[in-house]
Structure 1
């Protein structure tokens, strides 16, 4: 999907984008006014192409486009935004970086800047300015944005969507629980209870972007396991991982059939259809229900709650955030214009309406935006506010590098669990296979 947003179109903003932008206007100032902007000077004749993941909720794209039009109005720089389906993003990025003919601003996911570190321009000046103005960066933003052990920023995190538990309050009570338990044994019993009353849970261990890695990593981290240790040595063939695999097998028996073939939207559809009583997801399910205008779906929204997934052995919610991470490729002819575009999009006048209009689907990487009015607009979305305030990330506990990104892109951890829950392999065999697969990337 493509959008060419130029000067002639700037005054003809779509009704949806303008309406959502106006509705989401910030109620008060966010950020410090005494921080001087970096002063990027866009190149004469600059035109920008922006590549980013497609929307999951309509306001994401509508407000992003409206903000882009505003940038064109302000600077005279035409911008084309190409929206790409999430599963296709890795290929699109690889083609662009390897041919040197891709977008001027490439917005990928979390570890992507570390996969293409030698093909990127630093954005340290921009990141330090934004951090100074907007209260500093959350831990996950720094992990994904910075080269490990340095002050150098390779990427500019723009927001993250996390996957807490989305559940039907009435069905949880019918299953014998008043709230979501933090103990893994109790959580398993809750899921067994949901299946018993005909409203099973559903968690993906397919190749569903976001959903499947979120669940697989939760299984690891709740059992005190991790992909690597702090030095980057792969640690998948351990007793902690074996316990996680056994737990995953027990959990699978409580689920609705078909989760192994789910795509990124399958759990949304199943929840909205009333087929499941609990799943992990971003705010998109609730947003869709709440804004549907359909009486039956509004009733489901009223019965919907969100909660952190059980912590298990973790001291903090064992969830990370699928993070939009903007990059400026070395091949761009307009690096100053690209940085100015990103600065503009992250300023409160643009960013807060986007954050608010998405109802928390994307959570802020900069701490000052935690005071955005969106987080007071509906108590049911508060669980999403701290999405990027977490020590967990893809590749935890080791360095964020090309190997960590490659392991994620090749579904090594997800497939380790999938082989066990489908009966293809015993836990010990699957753990050893995953250990070998991950080591190949870390040794290359």
Structure 2
């Protein structure tokens, strides 16, 4: 896959490339409002070279613009940078190897809770985070949850963006099912999915070990029924009447789905949707992007018939969705921490960040509030639901503190597997709930 980008000599060129990659034309560049805040003074180490480890892209501009921005950093500083892209499924292992061996990448861009798993092995980024927050209108709540140590002002990670999972659906098929829009009521949503299956356009949601997709669906099931992994103090609360209701609902939803969802990977629902095998799923912007930018007129027609909406709220006060968050870390084992911090600062500044945000069509929605005014969000009304992905009270490990236990529960698929066992008929809701409660407790007591 193409990794090439175009070097951009200045802000105007940077803005133009990002805008040029947008769907449906090139919106006028919009200046990002910033405060006049002096940046931290980093002094890159003599002869510094950087190795960056990050997840692979789902849409081409993510990687192309990231690489182009990296080359601009090298042109400005003389610091050579190598970026290694890793499949999402392999990221937890790669991150663990780097920290447990004390060698490898100088900048690790992992996922949400990763800095908290390795809190004693990361370099504090408080000065950089406070500067960026002061300059760009402050950090969204989700960024603060994942970036800062619990009940502390110390930043362990630097959130770079988050991808959320609203409903992605075929407008004509939902109308054929008798619905003008996606209902916010859980009972009506289930009825919609039942009718879609009856008319040959079933839904599809992953309860496999598909990164991003499966946790997003499982957490939605929990939160929309008022359940959570833990309470505010970190006590495991999976064994509850609310979780039981969520498990019953998951079983009913599974009966409406296309066959095979239990073996889906991270790209399976994308492929099923664009192939017309399903009429509704939960996903980031990648499905719409790939169909819209395809050279196949049939795929363009799919994009024209595609729309996005919040997942039904159920009893939740806001859309019960979180954002799978890219979270940058500087390991303590690096010999070039000053160069690593300067690289992250450079990548988050408007000259670089806004073209990346725009080119990704908001696939990685902004963690800093000033970027909510980026031209990308007015370039296509179908993107609007992604704009506030990180403005949410929900997160992995909701309602408790982010800790190593939070990440361990996620990496061991405890919540996802709890739902999968019930959805497939392997266990009753009561038994699966108790098993998940015990499994989560082991990590929270460790």
Give the stretch that moved more between structures: 24-33 or 393-402. Answer: 24-33
Q: Does 1:244 align with 2:241?
A: no
TM-score by length of 2: 0.95
- Asked if 1:382 corresponds to 2:379, the answer is no
* Residues matched between the structures, number: 437
Match of 1:104 in 2: 106
* 1:230 equivalenced with 2:228 (yes/no): no
Cα–Cα, structure 1 residues 2 and 436, in superposed 2: closer, same or farther, change >3 Å?
farther
| Cα distance in 2 between the residues matched to 1:313 and 1:412 | 23
Alpha-carbon offset, residue 18 of structure 1: 11
Partner of 2:400: 398
Secondary structure of the corresponding residue to residue 133 of structure 2 = helix
Contact 1:49/1:79, CA 8 A, preserved across alignment:
yes
Q: CA deviation at 1:31?
A: 3.5
Deviations 1:266-307 (A, max 9, x none): 000000000000000000000000100211111110110000
SS in 1 for 2:219: helix
Q: Residue 119 of structure 1 corresponds to which residue in structure 2? A: 121
Preserved contact between residue 2 and residue 81 of structure 1 (Cα < 8 Å): no
Partner Cα distance (1:36, 1:234) in 2: 43
Q: What's 1:165 paired with?
A: 167
Deviation at 1:41, TM superposition (A): 1.1
**Cα contact 1:206–1:414 (8 A) shared by 2:** yes
Partner of 1:23: 20
Partner-residue secondary structure (3-state), 2:90: helix
SS of the equivalent of 2:161 reads strand
Q: How big is the shift at 1:245? A: 0.2
Q: Which residues in structure 2 correspond to 1:263-274 (within 5 Å)?
A: 263-274=265-276
Aligned partners of 2:316, 2:200: CA distance in 1, in Å? 31
Structure 2 matches for 1:129-148, cutoff 5 A?
129-148=131-150
1:317 to 313, 316, 319: 319
Question: 1:107-152: per-residue Cα shift (whole Å, max 9, x none)?
Answer: 0000000000000010000000000000000000000000011110
Describe the SS at the equivalent of 1:417: helix
Task: Provide Cα deviations, 1:359-418, integer angstroms capped at 9, x if missing partner.
Answer: 111100000000000000000010000000000000000110000100000000000000
- Separation in 1, partners of 2:317, 2:7: 49
Mapped contact 1:64–1:354 kept (Cα < 8 A): yes
Alpha-carbon shift at residue 28 of structure 1 (Å): 3.0
Partner of 1:275: 277
> 1:207, 1:11 → 2: CA distance?
39
Q: In 1, Cα distance between the equivalents of 2:432 and 2:70?
A: 47
Q: RMSD of aligned C-alpha atoms?
A: 1.9
Q: Are the equivalent residues in 2 in contact too, given 1:162–1:321 (CA < 8 A)?
A: yes
> Residues 3 and 63 of structure 2 are in contact (CA less than 8 Å); yes or no, is this contact kept in structure 1?
no
From 295, 299, 305, give the equivalent of 2:307.
305
1:75 paired residue number: 77
Equivalent residue runs for 1:178-197 within 5 Å: 178-197=180-199
CA–CA distance in structure 1, aligned partners of residues 151 and 40 of structure 2: 24
Equivalent pair of 2:208/2:263 in contact (CA under 8 Å): yes
Counterpart in the other structure of 1:428:
430
Distance 2:224 2:89 in 1: 27
Can you give the 5+ residue segments of structure 2 that lack an aligned partner in the other structure?
A: none
Aligned-pair CA distance for 1:4: 12
**1:30: how far off?**
1.1
2:154 maps to which of 152, 155, 172: 152
Q: Distance in 2 between matches of 1:430 and 1:122?
A: 39
Q: C-alpha distance in 1, partners of 2:166/2:94?
A: 29
The yes-or-no answer on 1:63 pairing with 2:65 is yes
> What is the TM-score with the length of structure 1 in the denominator?
0.96
Superposition deviation, residue 27 in structure 1: 1.3
Contact 1:154–1:327, Cα closer than 8 Å, also in 2: yes
Q: CA deviation at 1:161?
A: 0.2
Match for residue 284 of structure 1?
286
Contact 1:104 1:334 in 2 (8 A): yes
What's the CA shift for 1:39? 1.4
Among candidates 183, 204, 207, match of residue 206 of structure 2? 204
